[in-house]
Structure 1
Amino acid sequence: MPIDIKMPALSPTMEQGTLAKWLVKEGDTVSAGDILAEIETDKATMEFEAVDEGTILSIAIPEGSEDVKVGTVIATLGEEGEEAAAPAPKAKEKPAPKETKAEAQSEPAPAPTPAPASKAAAAPAQKGDRIVASPLARRIAEQKGVDLAAVKGSGPNGRIVKADVEATRPGAPAAEAQAVSRPLTEAVPDFGIPFEDVKLSSMRKVIARRLTESKQQVPHIYLTVDVRLDALLKLRAELNDALTSRGVKLSVNDMLIKALGLALMQVPACNVSFAGDVMRQYKRADISVAVSIPGGLITPIVTDPSAKGLAQISAEIGDLAARAKDGKLQPHEYQGGTASLSNMGMMGIKQFEAVINPPQGMIMAIGAGEKRPWVLEDGQLGVATVMSVTGSFDHRAIDGADGAQLMTAFRELVEKPLGLLA
């Protein structure tokens, strides 16, 4: 009997996704492990594999469809020996056989098109207030200043693709300008100021929801220390000189990730998650590293940095960050972690307080290193390179004294960095 292929949950928190692209068509024969489609989640674009073999009898959800709920039937697979010519009904409401025939007879013939007859002809890309366009088309439109509301899509189901945007001239006539400024929400009153409502991406919606929940439900406590960087910068320069022949170049961030991992192992009371009636105590410190990508933020995970060398950490975070920006991370590479590190010092931010990413119990915010007056070891006033570091702690799980102990351990590891090599 036919097998329903359903929208998969590609991560523990996924509730819906965008069926970006079908890699098979009706009538194709597939085997277990074959790639069926590309699915966009809130964090990445992922490939969806077949788990059974057979023939694709029908495709119920066309590519380009957004907000497809997990568990929705997206296609039907026939068992070996079944006829591919008997696809399951694809309409939202299951019609009677006579109605289906009537609909087929009354349906106007499609305009001539070089696409196969089974593909729908191009349709307007706008459905109500929703514009169906590929992520690449959206990026190109933003760069060129093209209004997607005025572009006719040539892709499946009228989806706007790269070629459609590239063929459209930048700028918009008055009618198009009115379409752009049409309010998509009544949440913000119109005060007569020129505006454009931009629909939130799936990633931005999840970020907004999770950060709101974090600030509303997690009592944050903030602890800040000033950390002298001179010894760490000197050691980094010496290590990079020694590692040049191996093509390795350590960053300050690589060393701070290692320091946080070691500090959490030294102060296990901070390597926890609050879980209602229980406290989850982790036996390993996995560090989520905040990486800014187009449309939002993602936190790839460096697993157990306390047990890894600095060169290995550097290679891993470089690979993770590159694939994060390309949307190629697997769920286990960005979901989980026991604590987070967010470094905005490279952007010149002196100090900030980061929002905890539940169920983690803490996040460390790294500020910029800068020359400051400093009382040196001999008691004399001098100049040192100093950065401000702020830890945000879930006060339900972590007491202030334990948080202070972690911040002290982190500072000592940075100021006496040979401990990072032990």
Structure 2
Amino acid sequence: MPIELKMPALSPTMEEGTLARWLVKEGDTVSSGDLIAEIETDKATMEFEAVDEGVISQILVAEGTDGVKVGTVIAMIQGEDESAAPAKAAKPAPTEVKAEAPAAPPPPTLVATPAPAPATPAASSGDRIKASPLARRIAAEKGVDLAGLTGTGPNGRIVKADVEGAKSGAAAPAATASVPAAPAAIPDFGIPHEVVKLSNMRKTIARRLTESKQTVPHIYLTVDVRLDALLKLRGELNASLEGRGVKLSVNDMLIKALALALIQVPKCNVSFAGDTMLQYSRADISVAVSVPTGLITPIIVDAANKSLSTISTEMSALAAKAKDGKLQPHEFQGGTASISNMGMMGIKQFEAVINPPQAMIMAIGAGEKRPFVVDDALAIATVMSATGSFDHRAIDGADGAELMKVFKEFVEKPLGLVA
């Protein structure tokens, strides 16, 4: 019988997506692992692979269609050993079904776990787990147990996104609270305006930040940090790296400083998970990057144990991919803490909103010349304000203060960043 090709959940927060482009057409033969479509999720534009062999007998959702719910049938595949006739019996695409169809099932509930598709546990035949060859290879490389995954492909098949999501997001808490929808309309009071459609990313940002401020008790702690020694060391390091294609930024060094501080103050390298708390032994730093459709946080994995040049190279590559919408799930899912730097925009100080399930985020302001007491005398120094936002359910004020103190020490005595 024909195989239904359904809209997959390509990120933990994805409820719907935009079918940006078909890479195949009706009548094309596809094999497992072939790329068949590009799908815009709430985070990036991602490639969707086939998990079955056969012929594309019917495309049910046109490219460019947005708001396609996870689980919607988007195409039909005719098995290689079947005639084309059964394709006529394919179910109509539920994408076109509007709210007036009361029998339609509700969309999946948002949860903070990898690949929250409305799928059942991974389908199997006897003792054989159904998974695409690419998913099996990635699982073998990463040491992921396929038996514990939920497949989002056709008939519960495990696909690449399921394995990648499990690798980076397996430690997330069970579920997040639902957030009330915004009012359907607001008065414009006769003011000239245009209606701007929200991107999938902007919708997700609005939902998650509302959820964070409503459910996470934030505590804010600010320190003033002298940057003169760090700027001097940065200049010396960049001189030594000249010709190697690496130029360290202040942000690269602050990423390393935060990572080292989290390792030294492990009580802040945590996630709150209801009756339990996840205590991380590795510092993965999510770095806020502004993109045309909103904000995304690619991750420098194990930043405490990487050299500054490695952090700089990885950050440049991740930022470029983020701006092109080409980040893969494992590059932005996870992280144990975040850093957001608005200093280059001249912002002196701000308080950032925590990105659950993380329990802290560091907000970095501009480095500027200020009157400052140096060796008990008033002098001019380059100073920045750094504000840590902490989830008070998981992190006490004293522990947050200790992290800010250690972070300040690493920045003001920066040789510890290269030791």
Q: Same fold (TM over 0.5)?
A: yes
**Is 1:393 matched with 2:390?**
yes
Q: Distance in 2 between matches of 1:93 and 1:417?
A: 59
Q: Distance in 2 between matches of 1:191 and 1:24?
A: 48
* Aligned 1:277-356 pairs, distance under 5 A: 277-356=275-354
Counterpart for residue 65 of structure 1 = 65
Equivalent in 232, 235, 241 of residue 234 of structure 1 = 232
Equivalent residues, number: 331
What amino acid maps onto 1:46 in structure 2? M
Equivalent in 392, 404, 407 of residue 404 of structure 2 = 407
Q: Is residue 57–residue 85 contact of structure 1 (8 Å, CA) maintained in 2? A: no
Q: Is residue 21–residue 63 contact of structure 1 (8 Å, CA) maintained in 2? A: yes
Cα deviation for residue 308 of structure 1 reads 0.3
Distance 1:416 1:93, change over 3 A: closer
Distance 1:85 1:22, change over 3 A: farther
Distance 1:33 1:91, change over 3 A: closer
Q: Distance in 2 between matches of 1:271 and 1:84?
A: 56
Q: Is residue 2–residue 87 contact of structure 2 (8 Å, CA) maintained in 1? A: no
Q: Is residue 76–residue 88 contact of structure 1 (8 Å, CA) maintained in 2? A: no
What amino acid maps onto 2:193 in structure 1? F
Counterpart for residue 167 of structure 1 = none
Q: Which has the higher contact order (CA 8 A, sep 6+)?
A: 2
Equivalent in 377, 381, 395 of residue 378 of structure 2 = 381
SS of residue paired to 2:338? strand
Counterpart for residue 112 of structure 2 = none
Q: Distance in 2 between matches of 1:321 and 1:190?
A: 37
SS of residue paired to 1:244? coil
Counterpart for residue 48 of structure 1 = 48
What amino acid maps onto 1:29 in structure 2? T
* Aligned 1:194-209 pairs, distance under 5 A: 194-209=192-207
Q: Distance in 2 between matches of 1:406 and 1:318?
A: 27
Distance 1:38 1:186, change over 3 A: closer
Distance 1:92 1:53, change over 3 A: closer
Residues 293-347 of structure 1, C-alpha deviations (whole Å, 9 max, x = no match)? 0021000011011000000000000000000000000011111101000000010
Residues 10-59 of structure 1, C-alpha deviations (whole Å, 9 max, x = no match)? 11221111111111111111111111111110111111011121111211
Cα deviation for residue 83 of structure 1 reads 2.5
Q: Is residue 290–residue 298 contact of structure 1 (8 Å, CA) maintained in 2? A: yes
Q: Is residue 286–residue 303 contact of structure 1 (8 Å, CA) maintained in 2? A: yes
Q: Is residue 53–residue 80 contact of structure 1 (8 Å, CA) maintained in 2? A: yes
SS of residue paired to 2:32? coil
* Aligned 1:5-404 pairs, distance under 5 A: 5-84=5-84, 86-89=86-89, 92=92, 187-377=185-375, 379-404=376-401
Cα deviation for residue 60 of structure 1 reads 1.7
TM-score, length-scaled by structure 2: 0.77
TM-score, length-scaled by structure 1: 0.76
Q: Distance in 2 between matches of 1:295 and 1:421?
A: 36
Q: Distance in 1 between matches of 2:233 and 2:356?
A: 34
Q: Distance in 2 between matches of 1:412 and 1:245?
A: 31
Name whichever of 75-84 and 34-43 sits farther off: 75-84
Q: Is residue 74–residue 93 contact of structure 2 (8 Å, CA) maintained in 1? A: no
SS of residue paired to 1:414? helix
Q: Distance in 2 between matches of 1:309 and 1:315?
A: 10
For structure 2, the residue ranges without an aligned partner over 5 or more in a row are 95-182
Q: Distance in 1 between matches of 2:235 and 2:331?
A: 30
What amino acid maps onto 1:75 in structure 2? A
SS of residue paired to 1:246? coil
Q: Distance in 2 between matches of 1:226 and 1:309?
A: 25
Cα deviation for residue 88 of structure 1 reads 3.8
Q: Is residue 255–residue 420 contact of structure 1 (8 Å, CA) maintained in 2? A: yes
Residues 212-256 of structure 1, C-alpha deviations (whole Å, 9 max, x = no match)? 110111000000000000000000000000000212110000000
Q: Distance in 1 between matches of 2:274 and 2:389?
A: 19
Query: What's the C-alpha RMSD, in Å, of the aligned pairs?
Result: 1.5
What amino acid maps onto 1:325 in structure 2? K
Q: Is residue 288–residue 341 contact of structure 1 (8 Å, CA) maintained in 2? A: yes
Cα deviation for residue 62 of structure 1 reads 1.6
Percent of pairs identical after alignment?
Answer: 75
Q: Distance in 2 between matches of 1:380 and 1:18?
A: 60
What amino acid maps onto 1:388 in structure 2? S
SS of residue paired to 1:245? coil
Residues 152-199 of structure 1, C-alpha deviations (whole Å, 9 max, x = no match)? xxxxxxxxxxxxxxxxxxxxxxxxxxxxxxxxx863213121111212
Q: Is residue 13–residue 204 contact of structure 2 (8 Å, CA) maintained in 1? A: no
Q: Is residue 5–residue 76 contact of structure 1 (8 Å, CA) maintained in 2? A: yes
Q: Distance in 2 between matches of 1:89 and 1:367?
A: 61
Q: Is residue 59–residue 90 contact of structure 1 (8 Å, CA) maintained in 2? A: no
Cα deviation for residue 81 of structure 1 reads 2.3
Q: Distance in 2 between matches of 1:93 and 1:381?
A: 72
Q: Distance in 1 between matches of 2:84 and 2:349?
A: 62
Distance 1:88 1:228, change over 3 A: farther
Q: Distance in 1 between matches of 2:93 and 2:305?
A: 57
Counterpart for residue 103 of structure 1 = none
Residues 103-122 of structure 1, C-alpha deviations (whole Å, 9 max, x = no match)? xxxxxxxxxxxxxxxxxxxx
For structure 1, the residue ranges without an aligned partner over 5 or more in a row are 95-184
